[in-house]
């Protein structure tokens, strides 16, 4: 029941930038991440790289469950709390949420993998997390919203710790998104 809260929990980054409540919920974002992760992993697999799709989808679906207890903290929260304090709080909240679940321990292990980006699957989900953010930013910009540059800044140079084919696929997607954004400015 607790995870149901994510359906009505607004993504803070958008509300802090003037979007009306309901512009995007954490659950809507998680769905977008799952779809992006599935498609990203399918493309990587089609090019000969072994990817555990079940792991990808499980990690994508649960990557933001801690927000059911902590809320959707904006990136700027790290400036005030520190990255380690935020990480510990998210770890504790996630573990408390899944403690009674039949798969609780495995859920915690998958979530920790996501946080540490130890597996290819976790790194693909993190890339999908950013892809979904950029797709949503692009949708807002196509609808006339301005002032979202900060979401795009530094993405091209970000290290997702992907190599070879996975890196090539991600870079092509990021380039396509950047090109779609340039078309808005040119149009």
Average pLDDT over residues 66-83: 92
Percent of the chain with pLDDT over 90: 90
Q: How far is CA 159 from CA 66, 156, 167, in A?
A: 24, 9, 10
Domains in the chain with CATH codes: 2-186 (1.10.3210.10)
Look at 40-44, 57-61, 98-102, 120-124 and tell me which has the smallest mean pLDDT.
98-102
Threshold 0.75, pTM exceeds: yes
Q: What is the pLDDT of residue 41?
A: 98
Please state the rounded mean pLDDT for residues 115-133: 97
Pair of tokens at residue 73: 């903290």
Instruction: Provide the β-strand partners of residue 10.
Output: 25
Q: What is the mean pLDDT of the chain?
A: 95
Instruction: Provide φ and ψ at 68, rounded to 5°.
Output: -60, -25
pLDDT at 4 over 80: yes
Percentage of residues in the chain having pLDDT higher than 70: 99
Specify the length of the chain in residues: 187
What is the per-residue pLDDT across 169-187, written as a single tens digit (0 to 9) for each?
A: 999 999 999 999 999 988 6
- Look at residue 102 in the predicted model and tell me its pLDDT: 86
Predicted local confidence at residue 105, as pLDDT: 80
């Amino acid at each position: 029941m607790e995870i149901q809260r994510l359906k009505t929990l607004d993504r803070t980054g958008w509300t802090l930038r003037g979007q009306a409540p309901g512009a995007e919920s954490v659950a809507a974002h998680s769905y977008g991440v799952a779809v992006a992760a599935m498609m990203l992993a399918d493309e990587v697999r089609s090019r000969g790289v072994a990817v555990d799709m079940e792991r990808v989808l499980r990690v994508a679906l649960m990557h933001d469950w801690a927000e059911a207890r902590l809320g959707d903290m904006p990136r700027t929260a790290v400036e005030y709390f520190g990255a380690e304090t935020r990480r510990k709080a998210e770890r504790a909240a996630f573990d408390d949420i899944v403690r009674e679940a039949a798969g609780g321990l495995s859920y915690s292990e998958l979530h920790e993998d996501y946080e540490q980006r130890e597996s290819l699957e976790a790194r693909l989900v993190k890339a999908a997390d950013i892809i979904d953010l950029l797709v949503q930013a692009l949708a807002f910009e196509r609808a006339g919203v301005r002032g979202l540059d900060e979401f795009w800044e530094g993405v091209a140079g970000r290290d997702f710790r992907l190599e070879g084919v996975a890196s090539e696929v991600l870079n092509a997607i990021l380039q396509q998104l950047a090109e779609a954004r340039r078309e808005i400015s040119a149009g």
